[in-house]
Structure 1
Amino acid sequence: MSESNSMPRHHKPKPLAPVDFANFPGGADPARVSEAAHLAAQALVHHGRESTDPEVTRRLVELADQQGVEAVAEMWAESPARSLPGALWRLYALRAAIQQNPERVAAFYSAGKDVAQVSKVVAGVAEPLGADEVRAMADTILSGAFEGEFDVALERFAAFCRVVALGQTNHADSSEASNGNRATMLTRNARQLVRTAEDLEHSAAAWRRGELD
C-alpha cells in the first residue's frame, strides 16, 4: 500500500459526485475555516445522534435540499478528506449527486453490482434496482449516520462508490471504440470514486477508534 493511501491526506478535497463529479463550489481557505467546520460537524452529528425525533433526522438528511448543496460545501468541502467535516461533506455530496440523476446512477450500479458482490451487499440497495431504490438507499444511509452507527453509514456509502466505480469502468470499456472521450471521462470518474471510497473507509475506522474529528 502506498503512503498516500495509508496516511490521511490533508489536501483540499474537491466536491464529489458518483456520476460525473459535478463541481459544486467549495468554501474559503481551509486554514481560516477549519475550526468552524469541525465545530459545526461535531454539533450536527451530536444533535442528530442525541435526538429520538424522526423529524430531526429528516431535516438533517435534507439539509442540502433546504440550504443548497453550495451552503453545505461552504461549511465542509475544504476540510481534509479524512476528517469528520470531510466525511460529512462526502455523504451529502454523494446524496446530492444521486438525487440529481438517479437513473444514471442506477445504471452504473447495475453494471457493477455483479462484479462487486461484497460491496453490493454492504451498500444494501434494494432490488429490483431503479431510480427510486437508489434515492431511497441514499436517504437511508444518511439517516443511519444520525440514527444508527456513523461508521456503518460511511462504509455503506464507500461500498456504493466501489460498485458504481466498477459500473463506470464497464461502461468506459464499452464506449472505448465508439466514444473515446466518454470512456476517458468515465475512467477518471471511477478512479475518483475509488479514492472517495478509501477516504470514507479510513474515516469509518477512525470513528471506531474515537479519532475522527
Structure 2
Amino acid sequence: MSREHPRPVLLPSYSFDWLIGSDEPGASHRIAQETSWALLDRVRKGADPVIVERVVQLASGSGLNDIAELWAHQGAHSLAGVLWRLYLLRRVAGADPELTAELYRRGAAIAVTIDPIVAGVAEPATPASITELCDTILRGAFTGDLGDALERAASYCRIMSLGAADLADSRDNNDDEHAAMLTTRALRYSTFAHDLHGGATRWRDGTLE
C-alpha cells in the first residue's frame, strides 16, 4: 500500500481539538471502505471475545496509528469515518480521563434531553466509567447494532459539548486561552454528535458507504 500521506501523530487529548471533525483529503477512500467493512465483517462473523477485545483495545494502543492513516480523513457518510470517530472518542477519554469525566458530569447536570439515559454512563461518572462507556460503545459497534452504538455515542458527544461549553463559561474571566480551547472542544463534540447521528441514520437505511 502506498504511503504518500504522512501518518497522523496521535497526541494527548489536546489533539482532539484539531483532529476531530477533520475531513481533509487523506488516504484512499476505496481502501478505507474496504478495510473498515472487512474488519466489521470479520469481527461479526467470528464473534470471538478475544478478537473483539483486541479490536476495541486498538484505541488505547499504537495500532490506532494504522487506523488513523486509513480512516482519519473519511467523512461520516462512510463506515470508516464513523468508526474512526468512535476510536478517537475513546482515545481522548483515555488521554485525559479527569477532564473528560468533569465535562461529562457538567453536561449531564444541565442536559434537558434524554441523552444521559441514552449514553448510559455508570453513576457516579468517573474517569473509569467514562472510559468503560467508550469501550462498550466500540464493542457494540462491532458485535451489536451499529446504529444503536452510533446513537449512544452521539448522545455522549452532546453531553460532552454541553459540559465543555459550561466549563468554558466559568473560565472566561480567569483563563481566556483555556476558555477558548474548551469552546473549540464544545464545537468539535457537537460536530461529532451530528456526524454520528447521521451515520446511524445511514446505517439503518443502507446508505452508509
Taking structure 1 as the reference length, what is the TM-score of the superposition? 0.85
**Corresponding residue for 1:121?**
117
Structure 1: which 5+ runs fail to align? Answer: 1-13
Structure 2: which 5+ runs fail to align? Answer: 1-7
Counting only pairs closer than 5 Å after superposition, residues 177-188 of structure 1 correspond to structure 2 as: 177-188=173-184
Q: Structure 1: how far apart are the matches of 2:60 and 2:101?
A: 21
Does residue 175 in structure 1 map to residue 167 in structure 2? no
Counting only pairs closer than 5 Å after superposition, residues 49-68 of structure 1 correspond to structure 2 as: 49-68=44-63
Does residue 144 in structure 1 map to residue 136 in structure 2? no
Query: Alpha-carbon deviations, 1:6-26, whole Å to 9, x = none?
Result: xxxxxxxx9999x64155699
1:44 aligned to 39, 42, 47, which one? 39
Deviates more, 1:123-132 or 1:61-70: 61-70
**Corresponding residue for 1:205?**
201
**Corresponding residue for 2:3?**
none
Contact 1:15–1:23 at 8 Å: present in 2 too?
no
Q: Structure 2: how far apart are the matches of 1:190 and 1:178?
A: 18
Q: Structure 1: how far apart are the matches of 2:23 and 2:118?
A: 32
**Corresponding residue for 1:189?**
185
Query: Alpha-carbon deviations, 1:43-66, whole Å to 9, x = none?
Result: 011112222211111011112334
Q: Structure 1 counterpart of 2:78, which letter?
A: S
C-alpha change, 1:85 and 1:100, in structure 2 (3 Å) is same
SS at match of 2:110: coil
Identity of aligned residues (%): 37
Q: Structure 1: how far apart are the matches of 2:61 and 2:116?
A: 30
Contact 1:15–1:24 at 8 Å: present in 2 too?
no
**Corresponding residue for 2:155?**
159
Taking structure 2 as the reference length, what is the TM-score of the superposition? 0.86
Query: How many positions carry a matched residue from both structures?
Result: 198
Query: Alpha-carbon deviations, 1:120-148, whole Å to 9, x = none?
Result: 11111000111111111111110001111
C-alpha change, 1:15 and 1:189, in structure 2 (3 Å) is farther
Query: Alpha-carbon deviations, 1:138-177, whole Å to 9, x = none?
Result: 1111000111111111111111111011011110110111
C-alpha change, 1:209 and 1:28, in structure 2 (3 Å) is closer
**Corresponding residue for 2:30?**
35
Say what the alpha-carbon RMSD is for the aligned residues. 2.5
